[in-house]
Structure 1
Amino acid sequence: MDEAGAARRLHQAGDLDGAERHYMRALAAAPGDQPLRRDLAALLLQRARPREAIPLLREVLSAGARDAQAATMLAFALRGLGDVAAARDAASTALAIEPRDPLALLAAGSLAVIAGDATSAEPWLRAAVAIEPRLFEAWHYLGEALQARCRWQEATAAYRQAMAGHPGEAMNVGICAERAGDLTVARDAYLQAHAAAPGRADVLVRLAQVEAMACRFDDSRAHAAMADALLAAGTIGDDDRPEPFPMSWLETGDVATAQVLERQVRRILARARALPRLPPPTHAVGGGSIRIGYLSADFGRHAVGTLLAGHFAAHDRTRFQVHAYSLRHHDDDVATAIRAGCDSFIDCEAMASDAIARRIRDDGIDVLFDLGGYTAGARPEVLALRPCALQLGWLGFIHGHQAPWLDGIVLDRHVQPVDAAWPWSDAALRLDTLMLPACAMPSGRPDRAGLGLPEGVPLLASFNNSYKLDDALVDAWVRILQRAPRAHLLVYLPEAARSGFLAAWTRHGGDPARLHPCGHLPAERQADRAASCDLFLDAFRYQAGATGIAAAAAGLPLLSRRGDSPLARLGSGLNGFLGMEDLVCTDADAYVARAVALASDPVALAELRARTTAAVARSRLLDPRRAAAAIEDLAVEQLAARRGPHATT
C-alpha cells in the first residue's frame, strides 16, 4: 500500500485522523522523505498542534531542503506561539528561497508589525496583496502597519479590502476614520461591527467614544453603560480588548476600567515576551550626570508636545543629560524646539520596539519617563522590556496604568490630593508644583469685532475638545444663561459635533441666539479669542489641561468643579496651583451659581482677569524651569530610594 499517497488523499479529503495515521506509517518507512515530513507538519498545524509541527519543520530545513513552504509554515507556527524573533528568522529563510511567495511575504510583514517595525512591514505586505489580492490577512496587517504610522486613509482602504473576507474589520475601519476626523464614517463602521458582534465590549467603547466626540450624549451614555455591564459581568472573550483611554473618562465604573487595564497589561506583556530579551540595564555611578530619558509619540504639535516645547532645554545641564526617543516623526515648530532642547534626540518611528528598548538600555538611561501610556502611538511594550531600572509614567495617560513595568505615575498634590481615592496598583508620585509643564504662550489681545464675537455682553466660553463635554455640563450651561440673561456662550465645536450639541442644547431649553459655536484657530489667534472672553467654563468629567493653561496665559479665568479623578480635577488643580480656589466649585449647582454671580458683575470679572494674570506670573506657571526642576528632584529622590546616595550627584 502506498502509505504516503493514502495520507495525502485522506488529508485532501479532510479525514485528518486517517491522514495522520498514514503519514506516521509512511515516515517510519521513509524517514528521509522531507516533503512527507512537511506535509505531516501541515496537518498538525491544521489540528492546532504547533509544538509538534515545529520540530518536523526544523528537521526539513536542517536537512538542507530549500523548502519555502516549510520555512513559511515554521514562521506562522512560531508566530502563533509568540516566538517573534525565531519566527522572523524563519520568514527571512522563506523569502530568501522564494522572494515572491505571497504567504512568505505575509509572514514577514505580519511579524514586522507585531515587532513594532511598521516601516519594514509595509513593502512586504504590499507585495503580498499585489500577487494575491484576496489574501485578506495581508490586507489586515497592511492596515495595521499604515495605522501605526498615522496614515489613516490608506489604512482604512486596506481594512476595507480585508472586510471582504472578515466583516469584523469594520472595527478597524472605524478606528482609522475616527483618527482621520470623519466621525460619521467611524460611527457607521462601529455600528456595523456592533451589529455583527453585539457582545463585544471593545466595539461598544469605541462607539461610545466617537459618539461623545460627536456630542451624541444619550447614545454615548447608553453604549458606555452596555460596555460597563459586559465588563462588570466578566463574560467577554480573551480577544475582546477595549481601549483604556476612553475608559478613563467615559461613564463606566472602576471595576470595568480595572478589567480593561488588566487585559491591556496581559496583551503588552505577551508582546514583550515574544521579543528578544535585554541584558539588565546599566547605570552611571556617582560622579556623572543623571541621564533622563523621555519616550513619546507626541513630540510635535500635540497637546503633550506643546506643553513640553521648552521643558527639555530647561533641565540643569550641570547635573542632567536629556535623551528623547520619538515614536513618531514630526516636522513642525514644536518638534524643532523639542529637538533643540535635547542632548540626544532619536527618531524611532522606523525602529522595532525591541530595538528602541535596546537603544535606551545602551544609552545608559537612569530614569525613563513614558509620556504616552495607552494613548495613540504609544508602545508600552518598550517599557515592558525593562530597558531602564527606574521607569515612570507622566502626562500622556493621567490615570492608573496597573503596569508592572512602571515604578510610579507622576501627578501632583492638586490633581491627586493625598486624601483622594486612588484605586490602582501604581504608586502615585506627587509633585509640589503643577504636574503640567508649560512655556511662554501668547497673551493675546481682545478683538471681539475682528473675531465676530458679540460686543457689550458678558462672554462665557469653553475651548475644551468636544468629547470632554456631556449632558450634565450642557444642562449647567443652559441654567447659567437662563439666570444671567445678558450673557452669551462661545463653545469650541468641530463641525462633526455641532448638530449633536445643538440637539442637546435645544432639549435643555437653551437659547440658540446666545450660543456661538466656533472652530479651530492658530495659537496666536486663539489667544486673542481667549483674551476677548470673560470666563472659561470648564468641563466636568475631563477638564482642561493644556487648554486651561493657554487660557490662563491670555488672562482668562477658569471656573471648575472638583471631580473624583485626576482627569476630572485638571482645571480645579490649575486653580489650586494658581491660588484661585474660589473658582473651584463643589458641585454643579455651586458651579452654576458662581458663574451667574460673575456674569452679572462686570467689575468682578475684570478683577478676576487681573488676578489671573498676576497669579500666572507669581506662580511661574509658564516658566519651563518650574516643571523641569520638579522632575529633576523627583528623579533624584526616586533613584536615591532605589540605589543609594550616588544618585544625588
Structure 2
Amino acid sequence: MEPASAMSLDDALALHRAGRLAEAEAAYRSLLAVHRGHPDLLRFLGLLRHQQGHAAEALDLLERAVDLCPESADGRRALALLLDKRGDRPGALVHYRAAARLAPHDAFALNDLGCALMEAGQLDDAAGVLEGAVLMAPEQGDALANLAIVLDRLGRTEEAVALAHRAVAARPEHAATHVALSIVLASSGLIGQAERAARHAAAIAPADIAALLQLGNVLIDAGDPDAAVAAYARVIEREPDHRGATENRLYALHLSPTVDDRDLVTELRAWGSGLSGLAEPRPDRGRDPNRRLRVGYVSADFGKHPVGWFLSPVLPNHDPAAVEIHAYSGRTVADEVTDHLRRHCASWVPTAGMDDAALAGRIRADGIDLLVDLSGHTAHNRLGVFARTPAPVLATWGGLIGTSGLPAMDWLIGDPRQCPAGAEELHTERIVRLPGGYVPYGPPAYAPPVAPPPALGLGHVTFGCFNRLAKIQDGVIALWARVLDAVPGGRLLLNTRELRCPDLRGRVAARFGAAGIGSDRLELAQGGGHADMLESYAGVDIALDPFPYSGGLTTLEALWMGVPVVTLPGRRFCSRHSVGHVTVLGHPEWAAVDADDYVRIAAALSRDREALGGLRSGLRGRMAASPLCDGAAFTRGLEAAYRMMWRQHCVS
C-alpha cells in the first residue's frame, strides 16, 4: 500500500467504502494535515468516526465542516442525520431544512426533510415536502414509501396504499418499502396482506429492526399476541435497548392468556427498574397543602380515542380555583374532541417533535405540581418522561392497562372494583380508589337512539362483541361456543375493523368452526365509522366481554346503546374494566365468578325476551343518571384525589 501522505481523497474514500476503516482514518487525517480545515475531509472523517462509535468526535467534526462551508447541502445532511440519531430532533430539523433549501431539486434532501417533519408531527408540511420529492424522482422508492406513511397518518388511506404499492414496485428488494406497505395495509384493515408484507420485509432483511417491529404490530392486529411477543423478542435480541419493541412487547403480554398475572408484574417491574437511572431530583414547588395546583396531563390520545372520551366530561368540570390544567399532547391529527379538550386547558403543548428529555425539561420549566400519565403501556406513551421525575407528584390514570412498573410513579388512580383489596401486590404504585368508576363516560351527541332488541323480531338471540380481535383468543372462543350451545338458535356477531380483511375473516371462521360454531351461527362485520359502529348495536341483544383483556370504552358504548354486557373479570387491571362499569351501573350480577357462571348469566339473560326489551329501553336513562355519566361528580372526586396526593407530598 502506498503511504497515506501520497494518497488522494478518492483513494481515502475507496478505503472507506471497502470497510477498511482504520486505513481510511489514517488517510483522512494525513490529508487534513496538509489541507487543514477542508470541509469535505472533515465531513468524511466525521462520518467514519461515527461508524467507529466515536459519536462526540464525529459531531464535532461535522459541526466544524458546516461552520466552514454552511452552503454545503451534503455537509448539512450529514450533520442532520447524526443529530437525529443522537435524539436532537429540533437541531436536526434545522439542518434538514437548510439542506433542502440549498438543494431544492435533490429528491434525497427533500426526503430527509419530509421524514424529519413527519417525526416532528408536522404532517401537512411533511406531505408537501415528500410530494415534492416524488415529483423530482417519481420512482424514488424511499420518498414514495415515506409519503405513503404520512398520508396514512393524515387519514388519506386509499392514496397511501396506492403509493406504498408504487414504492414496492420501484424497490421490490428493499425491506423498508414492504414495511411501509404493511403499515398502510394494516391501517386500511387488510391485516392478512399487511402480515404478508411484514413477513416479506423480514425475509429480505432478517436482521431489520423495522421489519420485525412491524411484524409484531400486525400480529397483534391479527389476534396472535403470543406470536407478536416472539417477534418483539427478536428485535430486543438485536437491540436490547429498543424502546418500541420493549414497550410493545409489554402491551402484548397484557393481551396474552398464557402469561400469569404475577409473571406480568415481574416483567413490568424489571422494565421499570431499567429506567430508574433516568430519575433526577424532583423539583421543589413548595409545601403549601392548600394552594392551587398546576396539573399536567400527558397523552397522544387527546381526540376520538377512549382517553379523549373519558376526558371530555372531566376537563370542563375542573374547578379553576383549585387546579390549573396544562396538556402535553402528542396527537398529530386534531378532531372535534381535540378542539373541545383544548378549550379547557390553560396551555396546550404539542410534543410530537420532543424527545423524552426535552419534554421532561419543558414540564419542569412550566412548574407542574402533579403530572398525570394517560397512556400506561399503550401506543405513543411517554413513560420515559415520568422516569425523569419532572414534577413533585406523578400519577397514572385513564389510559392505563395496569401498573406502569416505574419506581418513580407515585400513584395509580383506580376504583374499588378495578383495584379490589389485595390488588396492591400487582402494582408498583400506591393505589387511590375513586368512589365511583375509575373513568367517566361522555357519550357522543351523534349516538343513535336505542333500538328494540333484535330478538323480538328475529326470533333468536344475537350475542355480540365489538372488541378488537387481539382480545379474542382460543379460550374466549371456547367459552362463547358454550354460551351458544346453551342458547338454541343463538347467533354471534363480531364487528371490528380487522374483519375487513377476507383472509382474517376466513381464519376467524375456521377458529370458531374448530370450536363447533358453524358459519350459520356466526356473523363477521367489518367495523366502520364510529357512528355506524354504534348503530350496529341495534343488531345485538347481549354483549359478550372477552378476557383476560376486557372491554373498556367498548363496554360503555354497548351499555349506552341499551345492551347488557356479560363479563368474566380476572385479577389484572386490564381484565376488570367491564366489571367496574357494570357494577357502578347497578348490575353486578352481569359479572361472572367463573366460566360456568358466565354461561349461566348469558343464557339467563337470553331466556326472557320481554324482560330483555324492558331492560334495553331503560338502560340508557339509568346510565345517564348514574355515576358513569356524572362528569361533575367524577371530577370533584378526582380533584379530591389530587389534593390528597399533594398533601401527602407536602408532609413527606
Q: TM-score, normalised by structure 2?
A: 0.79
> Percent same amino acid among aligned pairs?
26
Distance, in Å, in 2 between the alignment partners of 1:140 and 1:380 is: 30
2:404 alignment counterpart: 401
Q: For residues 517 and 44 of structure 2, what CA distance do their matches in structure 1 show? A: 71
Match of 2:442 in 1: 439
d(CA) in 2 for partners of 1:252 and 1:237?
25
Between stretches 49-58 and 545-554, larger displacement belongs to 49-58
Amino acid at match of 1:590: D
Match among 499, 510, 515 for residue 503 of structure 1: 510
Measure, in 1, the Cα distance between the counterparts of 2:528 and 2:78. Answer: 54
SS at match of 1:161: helix
Indicate the residue corresponding to 1:189 in structure 2.
Answer: 197
- The question of 1:312 aligning with 2:320 is answered no
Q: 1:36 to 1:295 in 2, by over 3 A?
A: closer
Q: How does 1:509-548 map to 2 (within 5 A)?
A: 509-510=516-517, 512-518=519-525, 520=527, 530=537, 534-548=541-555
Root-mean-square deviation (CA), in Å? Answer: 4.6
Could you say what secondary structure the match of 2:200 adopts?
Answer: helix
What do residues 54-106 of structure 1 show as CA deviations (whole Å, max 9, x unaligned)? Answer: 33334444456754433433333343444445544554565565555556555
Task: Verify the 8 A CA contact 1:159 1:172 in the aligned structure 2.
Answer: no
Residue in 1 aligned with 2:256? 250
1:86-485 map, 5 Å: 86-91=91-96, 94=99, 105=110, 108-113=113-118, 118=123, 121-127=126-132, 130-131=135-136, 149=154, 152=157, 157=163, 161=167, 164=172, 166-196=174-204, 202-212=213-223, 220=224, 223-224=227-228, 226-227=230-231, 235-238=237-240, 239=242, 241=245, 243=248, 244-251=250-257, 253=259, 289-328=292-331, 334-335=337-338, 337-340=340-343, 342-344=344-346, 346=348, 348=350, 352=354, 364-376=367-379, 378=381, 388-403=391-406, 406-420=409-423, 422-423=425-426, 425-439=428-442, 444-447=449-452, 454-485=457-488
When residues 361 and 118 of structure 1 are mapped into structure 2, their CA distance, relative to the original with a 3 A threshold, is: farther
SS of equivalent residue, structure 1 residue 291: strand
Deviations 1:392-418 (A, max 9, x none): 332223123334664433322212223
Q: Give the distance between the partners of 1:9 and 1:521, measured in 2 at CA.
A: 59
Q: Partner residue of 2:78?
A: 73
Q: Is the 8 A contact 1:72 1:103 kept in 2?
A: no
Aligned-partner residue type, residue 346 of structure 1:
W
Deviations 1:478-517 (A, max 9, x none): 2222222254444435443543333233322225444455
CA positional deviation for 1:590: 2.3
Of residues 452-461 and 9-18 in structure 1, the stretch that sits farther from structure 2 once superposed is: 452-461
Native 8 Å contact 1:447 1:532 kept in 2: no
Name the counterpart of 1:216.
none
Whether the 8 Å CA contact 1:329–1:347 is kept in 2: the answer is: no
Residues 120, 350 of structure 1: 8 Å contact kept:
no
Q: Indicate the residue corresponding to 1:592 in structure 2.
A: 599
CA distance in 1, matches of 2:639, 2:335: 27
* Letter of the structure 1 residue corresponding to residue 221 of structure 2: V
CA–CA separation in structure 1 for the residues paired with 2:160 and 2:283: 37
State the one-letter code of the partner of 1:537: L
Residue-by-residue CA offset, 1:23-43 (whole Å, 9 max, x unaligned): 433433443555444444454
Q: Deviations over 1:250-295 (max 9, x none)?
A: 34536689769977998x999x99xxx9996968967753333333
Supply the distance in 1 between the matched residues of 2:623 and 2:340 (Cα, whole angstroms).
Answer: 23
Moved more, 503-512 or 583-592: 503-512
User: Which stretch of the first structure deviates more once superposed, 587-596 or 2-11?
Assistant: 2-11
Paired amino acid for 1:500: R
Which residue is equivalent to 1:13?
14
Partners of 2:572 and 2:281 in 1: CA distance: 36
Corresponding residue for 2:576?
569
The answer as to whether partners of 1:193 and 1:203 remain within 8 angstroms in 2 is no
Moved more, 600-609 or 636-645: 600-609
Gapped runs of 5+ residues in structure 1? 213-219
Contact 2:566 2:602 in 1 (8 A): yes
SS at match of 2:296: strand
Deviation at 1:625, TM superposition (A): 1.8
Matched-pair contact (CA < 8 Å) for 1:91–1:108:
yes
CA separation of 1:36 and 1:310: change in aligned 2, threshold 3 A = closer
Q: Given the superposition, is the C-alpha separation of residues 632 and 141 from structure 1 closer, same or farther in structure 2, using an over 3 Å criterion?
A: same
1:20, distance to aligned residue in structure 2 (A) = 3.4
Distance (whole Å) between structure 2 residues aligned to residue 379 and residue 155 of structure 1: 28
Residues 121 and 332, structure 2, Cα contact 8 Å, conserved in 1: no
Q: Are 2:29 and 1:28 aligned?
A: no
Tell me by how many angstroms 1:622 deviates.
1.5
- Structure 1 539/253 Cα, relative in aligned 2: closer, same or farther at 3 Å? closer
Offset, 1:584: 1.8
Partner of 2:57: 52
Task: Count matched residues.
Answer: 628
Deviations for 1:323-354, whole angstroms, at most 9, x for unmatched residues? 444433666554454345x1446373876568
Per the normalisation by structure 1, the TM-score is: 0.79
Do residues 632 (structure 1) and 639 (structure 2) align?
A: yes
> What letter corresponds to residue 400 of structure 1 in structure 2?
T
- Aligned mates of 1:414, 1:137 — CA distance in 2: 50
Q: Which amino acid aligns with 1:73?
A: A
Relative to structure 1, is the Cα distance of residues 180 and 378 closer, same or farther in structure 2, using a 3 angstrom cutoff?
farther
